[in-house]
Structure 1
Amino acid sequence: MFLTIDDFDFEGKTVALRVDINSPMDVNNHTILDDTRIRACISTIKELSNNGAKVVILAHQSRPGKKDFTPLCAHAQKLSESLDSEVYYVDDLFGSHAINSVKRMADGEILLLENVRFYSEEVLKDWNNWEGTSCPKKQGKTIMIKQLHSLFDYFINDAFAAAHRAQPSLVGFAYYMPVIAGRIMEREIKTLDKIIKNPDKPSIFILGGAKADDSIEVIKNVLKNNSGDRVLTTGIVANIFLIAKGYDLGPNKDVIRHMGYLNQIEIAKDLLETYGDKIETPIDVALNIEGQREEMELTLEKRIIYPIHDIGTETIAYYSDIIRESKTIVANGPAGVFENKNFLKGTAEILYAMTKSKAFTVIGGGHLSAVAGIVGVSNDINHISTGGGACIEFLAGKKLPVIEILKNSYRKYKDGDFNE
């Protein structure tokens, strides 16, 4: 259980709204190249403003040391365009300019403070070691939170894409006031929770991409808890399972070694021993031979000597049949090197099969959501997660700091306890 916007009357209240509008930037002229995340949070901002709240937005862009680590003036402009209403940008975070700007706000006004990661305490490595504590006292005692918290009646967290982080701007306000889920956060938690706890059956997970260790954690969790009936592997994940089955993938094993995933082969062997009938691997693959796509059937006797860049046509047909019979489909990670049009086929065909099915379909954000846009099926997927890393950790059964704080805040609010 967690608090939502529906639980409160915001008229005349000042709310801190944490969003994730971290966007691809043109570093030469500091313009935003893709405003998807900005558009995603518009409904929450508009609802709060229309209900008479003074909306103070907290957000980040990139991280220290990166070329796209910029102020948020361009983000304020994009927000204003999407809302068709002015979003006031304040190039300060918790100094007198920021504090006085918040105090002068009228009901319904929207203000964006400066990039929270400009402040050193926000990016301390300390926050990487989340202790699972229900009351984030350390974060609440940082200077930024101590300076700002008294200005706000409520803290609303709509930054699902950062839900796996425990930085002060994400969890620190919970030490002082109720934490409420924004509309993105609410939708993400409810959707992913149903997938794990009560999916319509049969339920399948299609897992690929380059982050093999995360995907294998998901496989462990969904098969152990019976959330998934079958797992279809693609990409580096599939290669790891193929090697675990005894296939000689030649130079493709060197890629796995270079990525630091050799240890995942033993984990894959254990999973195959326990859940072998539920884990599907490719029947054939598409090789990159001097830039051309050449498909090859997999056999234990034949060694692969070229890079595997996609699943093959037979695998696409086999996986599509399984997809067609499923009622819940969760896909994360592309099936191949989609950036090369010769190897887009596997990823595209899986997405097409998902849209043709009658199942409830989910994409776990990241590169696969980008491909869905490229091939024009984004609007035909039931749910595209806004948070790649947060989504995969949720599906892997890990406790996400922001979500744990939301649950605890619900309990504290019911007990009337938001003091030290």
Structure 2
Amino acid sequence: MAWKTLDDMDLDGMVVLTRVDINVPVENGQVTDDTRIQRILPTIRDILDAGGKPVLLAHFGRPKGQRVPDMSLSVVRPALEAALGCPVKFAEDCIGGPAKKAVAGLEKGDVLLLENTRFHEGETKNDGGFAASLAALGNVYCNDAFSAAHRAHASTAGLAHLLPACAGRLMQAELSALEAALGDPERPVVAVVGGAKVSTKLDLLGNLVKRVDHLVIGGGMANTFLAARGIEIGTSLAEHDMADTAREILEKADAAGCEIILPSDVVVAREFAAGAAHETVAVDACPADAMILDAGPETVARITAVFETARTLIWNGPLGAFEIEPFDAATNAAAKAAAELSAAGRLTSVAGGGDTVAALNKADAAKDFTYISTAGGAFLEWMEGKELPGVAALGD
């Protein structure tokens, strides 16, 4: 898809309405994780360097069209100022008098944060009138919130039709990474998909079997596939009512020439607890009173061997119950192998999803992956092959 970036826009003297995602965790009035703030800094700084005046549009929580004091973006302002290293002006509304006055007072070098767009119900309804009120404030629209691009909201999609529009640096990086992973990837391509339930990732699996050469299935999802093949899995977490669906996915993969990789050996235990007594057994030897909590070393060796031959890796979800030792071993080992290949320039690796990022950080592997997406839902919908309204609007 063709979309413009900041490099394609004349920003000198322009008010740049910049949609960002700073929906960060807050406790006792303090931002506890500023990762999302850090990731928008290149866009803000590049707009400033080009002589533009960045006006930040963002949501915070789900106020459902009401003005909820606890969901005011003013709480994020100190962390934003600390990250930028300069003052950030704040307007108590994102449209109307307060917003117009704040924008009119901007000088080059100023950064303005507008109040929560979701205080207006027109935001989530993608109301044309609300989008026009936002557009009236600026000259250029820049979307740097890929994580909100799967929402057809006024500030993520509507605005792009009303002003000259471009992608910010974070949006540009996300789109470039995902295009490299699924759009026109270097082959062979391997995908790792883990997590608890097949039912939550049907669209994802259905899309991937048509587009990748190898699909590694891990976590509780793998148990469902094993059970569907008639393998006894003891008391393991599984969706037995999804057996027919699992078999259909296996058939589609076979027809598409996609190799499905399931565990050949597993780590089992009688309880899900840190340090629980456990053993590694062949996949068809799970005791009736035990549960599968991780893939075994033979499986990990198979996965890493596939990584060695691959050129592109897409990763979403852990291979086991990574939150608790020792059931993080497979995820850690596979993640480290992927990270080493990526660092050596032999593998383009793109990963995303909440549990995925946590698992890769725990394995100390995230830093060497080619790209880590923090987008969550938007990342998954892109992998599912769905059109994202916020992205589509930039290409219109």
> Residues 259-287 of structure 1: CA distance to partner in whole angstroms, max 9, x if unpaired?
xxx34x32220121232461010112223
Q: What SS is found at the alignment partner of 1:23?
A: coil
| CA 330–275 in structure 1, closer or farther in 2 if over 3 Å, else same | same
For residues 337 and 90 of structure 1, the distance between their equivalents in structure 2, rounded to whole angstroms, comes to 45
Q: Which one-letter code corresponds to 2:33 in the other structure?
A: D
For residues 303 and 373 of structure 1, the distance between their equivalents in structure 2, rounded to whole angstroms, comes to 32
For residues 267 and 196 of structure 1, the distance between their equivalents in structure 2, rounded to whole angstroms, comes to 24
Q: Which residue of 2 aligns with 1:412?
A: none
Q: Say whether residues 1:87 and 2:88 are aligned partners.
A: yes
The TM-score, its normalising length taken from structure 2, stands at 0.90
Q: Aligned-pair distance for 1:382?
A: 0.7
For residues 389 and 167 of structure 2, the distance between their equivalents in structure 1, rounded to whole angstroms, comes to 13
| Pick aligned residue for 1:201 from 181, 187, 194 | 187
Q: Aligned-pair distance for 1:57?
A: 0.2
For residues 91 and 46 of structure 1, the distance between their equivalents in structure 2, rounded to whole angstroms, comes to 23
Q: Which residue of 2 aligns with 1:101?
A: 102
Contact 1:63 1:69 in 2 (8 A): no
For residues 293 and 47 of structure 1, the distance between their equivalents in structure 2, rounded to whole angstroms, comes to 54
Q: What SS is found at the alignment partner of 2:42?
A: helix
Q: What SS is found at the alignment partner of 2:233?
A: coil
Q: Which residue of 2 aligns with 1:376?
A: 364
| Pick aligned residue for 1:289 from 243, 256, 270 | 270
Q: Which residue of 2 aligns with 1:340?
A: 324
Q: Which residue of 2 aligns with 1:77?
A: 78
Q: Which one-letter code corresponds to 1:84 in the other structure?
A: G
For residues 207 and 390 of structure 2, the distance between their equivalents in structure 1, rounded to whole angstroms, comes to 20
Q: What SS is found at the alignment partner of 1:353?
A: helix
Q: Aligned-pair distance for 1:68?
A: 11
Q: What SS is found at the alignment partner of 1:367?
A: helix
Which stretches in structure 1 are left out of the alignment for 5+ residues?
125-138, 409-420
Q: Aligned-pair distance for 1:47?
A: 0.4
Q: Which one-letter code corresponds to 2:362 in the other structure?
A: I
For residues 69 and 281 of structure 2, the distance between their equivalents in structure 1, rounded to whole angstroms, comes to 44
For residues 270 and 114 of structure 2, the distance between their equivalents in structure 1, rounded to whole angstroms, comes to 51
For residues 363 and 83 of structure 2, the distance between their equivalents in structure 1, rounded to whole angstroms, comes to 25
Q: Which residue of 2 aligns with 1:131?
A: none
Q: Aligned-pair distance for 1:59?
A: 0.9
Q: Which residue of 2 aligns with 1:248?
A: 232
Q: Which residue of 2 aligns with 1:305?
A: 289
Show the 5 A alignment for 1:344-355. Answer: 344-355=328-339
> Residues 308-344 of structure 1: CA distance to partner in whole angstroms, max 9, x if unpaired?
3222222222212221222111111112222212222
Q: Say whether residues 1:280 and 2:261 are aligned partners.
A: yes
Show the 5 A alignment for 1:62-73. Answer: 62-64=61-63, 70-73=71-74
Contact 1:293 1:342 in 2 (8 A): no
Aligned residues: 382
Q: Which one-letter code corresponds to 1:267 in the other structure?
A: T
For residues 22 and 223 of structure 2, the distance between their equivalents in structure 1, rounded to whole angstroms, comes to 34
> Residues 106-159 of structure 1: CA distance to partner in whole angstroms, max 9, x if unpaired?
1231111112222233345xxxxxxxxxxxxxx25243x232211211111010
| CA 211–2 in structure 1, closer or farther in 2 if over 3 Å, else same | farther
Show the 5 A alignment for 1:120-199. Answer: 120-124=121-125, 139-143=126-130, 145-199=131-185
Q: Which residue of 2 aligns with 1:61?
A: 60
Q: Which residue of 2 aligns with 1:364?
A: 352
Q: Say whether residues 1:32 and 2:20 are aligned partners.
A: no
Q: Aligned-pair distance for 1:190?
A: 1.8
Contact 1:248 1:300 in 2 (8 A): yes
> Residues 171-225 of structure 1: CA distance to partner in whole angstroms, max 9, x if unpaired?
121232122111111111122112223212221001102353454423322332x
Q: Aligned-pair distance for 1:165?
A: 0.9
Show the 5 A alignment for 1:13-28. Answer: 13-26=14-27
Contact 1:48 1:108 in 2 (8 A): no
For residues 226 and 25 of structure 2, the distance between their equivalents in structure 1, rounded to whole angstroms, comes to 35
> Residues 227-247 of structure 1: CA distance to partner in whole angstroms, max 9, x if unpaired?
311001101221222122122
| CA 249–363 in structure 1, closer or farther in 2 if over 3 Å, else same | same
For residues 25 and 117 of structure 1, the distance between their equivalents in structure 2, rounded to whole angstroms, comes to 18
Q: Aligned-pair distance for 1:373?
A: 2.2
Q: What SS is found at the alignment partner of 2:155?
A: helix
Q: What SS is found at the alignment partner of 2:112?
A: strand
Q: Which one-letter code corresponds to 1:218 in the other structure?
A: L
| CA 6–221 in structure 1, closer or farther in 2 if over 3 Å, else same | same
Q: Which one-letter code corresponds to 2:103 in the other structure?
A: V
Q: Aligned-pair distance for 1:359?
A: 0.9
For residues 24 and 277 of structure 2, the distance between their equivalents in structure 1, rounded to whole angstroms, comes to 33
| CA 295–315 in structure 1, closer or farther in 2 if over 3 Å, else same | farther
The TM-score, its normalising length taken from structure 1, stands at 0.85
Q: What SS is found at the alignment partner of 1:60?
A: coil
For residues 327 and 34 of structure 1, the distance between their equivalents in structure 2, rounded to whole angstroms, comes to 33
For residues 36 and 244 of structure 2, the distance between their equivalents in structure 1, rounded to whole angstroms, comes to 38
For residues 40 and 78 of structure 2, the distance between their equivalents in structure 1, rounded to whole angstroms, comes to 14
Q: Aligned-pair distance for 1:307?
A: 3.2
| Pick aligned residue for 1:270 from 248, 264, 273 | 248
Contact 2:318 2:356 in 1 (8 A): yes
Q: Aligned-pair distance for 1:387?
A: 0.9
